[in-house]
Amino acid sequence: EIFISDGAKSDIGNIGDILSMQNRVAVTDPVYPVYIDTNVMGGRAGNIAKDGQHWDNIIYIPCTSENNFIPEPPSVRPDIIYLCYPNNPTGTTLSKNELKKWVNYALENETLILFDSAYEAYIHDEGIPHSIYEIKDAKRVAIEFRSFSKTAGFTGLRCGYTVVPKELKLYDTSKKRININRLWNRRQTTKFNGASYIVQRAAEAIYSPVGKIQIQESIDYYMRNASLLKDCLQKVGLQIYGGDNAPYIWVKTPNELSSWKFFDRLLCECHIVGTPGVGFGPSGEGYFRLTAFGRYEDTIESISRIQNWKL
- Per residue in 233-266, pLDDT tens? 999 999 999 999 999 999 999 999 999 999 999 9
Task: Look at residue 45 and tell me whether its pLDDT is greater than 90.
Answer: yes
| Percentage of residues in the chain having pLDDT higher than 90 | 94
Query: For residue 48, what is the DSSP state?
Result: B
Tell me if the bond preceding 86 is cis, omega within 30° of 0.
Answer: yes
Task: Look at residue 166 and tell me whether its pLDDT is greater than 90.
Answer: yes
Backbone angles phi, psi at 188, to 5 degrees: -65, -40
Decide if 200 contacts 187 (C-beta within 8 A). Answer: no
Mean pLDDT for the stretch of residues 20-42:
95
Considering only CA atoms, which of 153, 162, 120 is closest in space to residue 9?
A: 162
CB atoms within 10 A of CB 161: 18
- Mark out the alpha helices in the chain (DSSP H runs): 8-14, 33-41, 96-109, 149-152, 180-191, 197-205, 209-235, 259-270, 296-307
Task: Look at residue 311 and tell me whether its pLDDT is greater than 80.
Answer: no
Q: What CA–CA distance (Å, rounded) separates 180 from 171?
A: 10
Question: Hey, CA dihedral for 225, 226, 227, 229, is it positive or negative?
Answer: positive
pLDDT digit string (tens) for 72-127?
Answer: 999 999 999 999 999 999 999 999 999 999 999 999 999 999 999 999 999 999 98
Task: Look at residue 230 and tell me whether its pLDDT is greater than 90.
Answer: yes
For 290, the 3-state DSSP assignment is strand
Q: What CA–CA distance (Å, rounded) separates 69 from 63?
A: 4
Across the chain, mean pLDDT equals 95
Q: What CA–CA distance (Å, rounded) separates 30 from 33?
A: 9
Instruction: Give pLDDT, residue 156.
Output: 87
Mean pLDDT for the stretch of residues 278-303:
96
Task: Look at residue 173 and tell me whether its pLDDT is greater than 90.
Answer: no
- Model confidence at 175, in pLDDT bands (50, 70, 90)? confident
- Number of helices (H) and strands (E), helices first, in the chain? 9, 13
Considering only CA atoms, which of 271, 220, 221, 272 is closest in space to residue 251?
A: 272
| Percentage of residues in the chain having pLDDT higher than 70 | 100
Mean pLDDT for the stretch of residues 146-169:
94
**165, exposed or middle or buried, with CB in 10 Å at 0-12, 13-18, 19+?**
middle
Q: What CA–CA distance (Å, rounded) separates 111 from 31?
A: 19
Q: What CA–CA distance (Å, rounded) separates 241 from 225?
A: 15
Q: What domains does the chain contain, in order, with CATH numbers? A: 2-205 (3.40.640.10), 222-307 (3.90.1150.10)
pLDDT digit string (tens) for 176-203?
Answer: 999 999 999 999 999 999 999 999 999 9
Instruction: Give pLDDT, residue 184.
Output: 97
